[in-house]
């Protein structure tokens, strides 16, 4: 059976009023963000649709032109680079350099491991914490960790109309939190 609500002390009323004021401000800002995000997404999508084909074509055209220029330089090196490694032309300059790069040969990794040259080997290892969340407490202890209690504060906003053009229902993060508001840690 629920207990009757007790009369709040003035300090408790003050703190509750302050918290409610913060919830109101969060609600107002959340609505504003939703409206702006919705408008931003609509306008960005429109811009993308408008410019993407031309942008992609221009990038492909540039790549073709650069390939043609490099081929021209290779086949006509003597005519272009008569005075060294730079050829100044009306619309720009051509530059030539000899680079020494490491040849990407097969079996280099195995040889690096064989001679113990670990400084030249990239090893990426990390813990998949999402997998560990599903483990039993005993198994967690076995690998040197455990579950910990964590205080989590969240909120729900009431009486707020949905922003125009916004998503209907809760977002993924709201569903994960189990509320229709935000979370505060």
- pLDDT tens digit sequence for 20-61: 999 999 999 999 999 999 999 999 999 999 999 999 999 999
- Model confidence pTM above 0.95: no
Query: What does the block give as tokens for 65?
Result: 């032109």
pLDDT tens string, the chain, 185 residues long: the values are 456 678 888 898 999 999 999 999 999 999 999 999 999 999 999 999 999 999 999 999 999 999 999 999 999 999 999 988 999 999 999 999 998 888 888 899 999 999 999 999 998 889 999 999 999 999 999 999 999 988 887 778 887 655 444 434 444 444 444 444 555 44
How much is the pLDDT for 164? Answer: 45
Rounding to the nearest 10 degrees, give the CA dihedral for residues 19, 21, 22, 25.
160
- What is the residue whose two structure tokens read 């330089």? 73
Q: What region does 64 belong to: left with phi over 0, alpha with psi -120 to 50, or beta? A: alpha
Residues 67 and 129: their CA atoms lie apart, in Å, by: 46
Task: Indicate the helix (H) or strand (E) that contains 36.
Answer: helix 10-75
31: nearest Cα among 164, 133, 182: 164
Q: Where are the domains of the chain?
A: 10-146
96: nearest Cα among 106, 88, 104: 88
């Amino acid at each position: 059976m629920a207990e009757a609500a007790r009369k709040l002390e003035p300090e408790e009323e003050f703190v509750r009023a302050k918290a409610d004021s913060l919830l109101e401000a969060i609600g107002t800002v959340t609505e504003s963000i939703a409206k702006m995000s919705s408008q931003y997404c609509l306008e960005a999508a429109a811009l993308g649709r408008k410019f993407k084909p031309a942008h992609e074509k221009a990038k492909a055209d540039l790549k073709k032109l650069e390939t043609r220029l490099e081929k021209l330089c290779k086949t006509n090196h003597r005519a272009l680079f008569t005075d060294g490694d730079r050829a100044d032309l009306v619309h720009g300059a051509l530059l030539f350099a000899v680079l020494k790069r490491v040849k990407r040969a097969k079996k280099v990794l195995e040889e690096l491991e064989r001679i113990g040259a670990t400084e030249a080997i990239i090893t990426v290892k990390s813990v998949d914490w999402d997998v560990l969340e599903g483990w039993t407490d005993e198994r967690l202890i076995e690998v040197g960790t455990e579950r910990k209690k964590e205080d989590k504060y969240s909120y729900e906003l009431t009486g707020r109309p949905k922003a125009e053009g916004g998503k209907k229902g809760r977002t993924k993060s709201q569903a994960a939190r189990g509320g229709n508001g935000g979370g505060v840690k």
